[in-house]
Amino acid sequence: MVVADDIFKALADPTRRTILDELAEKSGQTLFEICSRLSMKHRLGISRQAVSQHLAVLEAAGLVGTRREGRYKFHDLNTAPLRQIAERWLVSDTSRPEESTP
C-alpha cells in the first residue's frame, strides 16, 4: 500500500521532481524519451538505469502510472497523491491568506 512516506521520499530527490515536470509537460513518455529530455533540456548526465530506478520510485509512490504497448512502456503523471500531502498542515492553519475579505 502507498503511504505518505513513499510520496514524500519520492519528492525528496531533485531529479525525480524534474521527471515529474517533464511528465506534466508531456504525458505518455517512454524511458528513453525521458532520458534524452533530462540530458538535452536539463543537462543532466545520468544513466538510463538511474532514470529507470527513479521512475520505479515514482511509480511505487503512485505519482506515476505506466502502460505497456509492445516493447514500449509509457509513463503518465498522477497528481492524485499530491492533493493530500500539502493539506496535511494547511487544514488546521488560520494564518491562511484570505480569498476576499468583504
Residue 67, strand partner residues: 74
Measured between alpha carbons, how far is 28 from 78 in angstroms, rounded to an integer?
Answer: 11
- Cα angle, residue 17 at apex, residues 37 and 33 outer, rounded to 5°: 20
Min separation Cβ 10 and a copy of itself, Å? 9
- Measured from the CB atom, is 9 or 82 closer to DNA? 9
* Residue 36 contacts a copy of itself per CB under 8 A: no
Residues 19-78 binding DNA (CB under 7 A) are: 30-32, 45-50, 52-55, 57, 70-73
Cβ neighbors of 91 (< 8 A, separation 6 or more) are none
Using the minimum distance from each CB to a copy of itself, give the nearer residue, 1 or 90.
Answer: 90
What the block records as the C-alpha cell of 61 is 509512490
CB of 65 to DNA, least distance (A): 13
Minimum distance, C-beta of residue 73 to DNA, in the bound complex (Å): 4
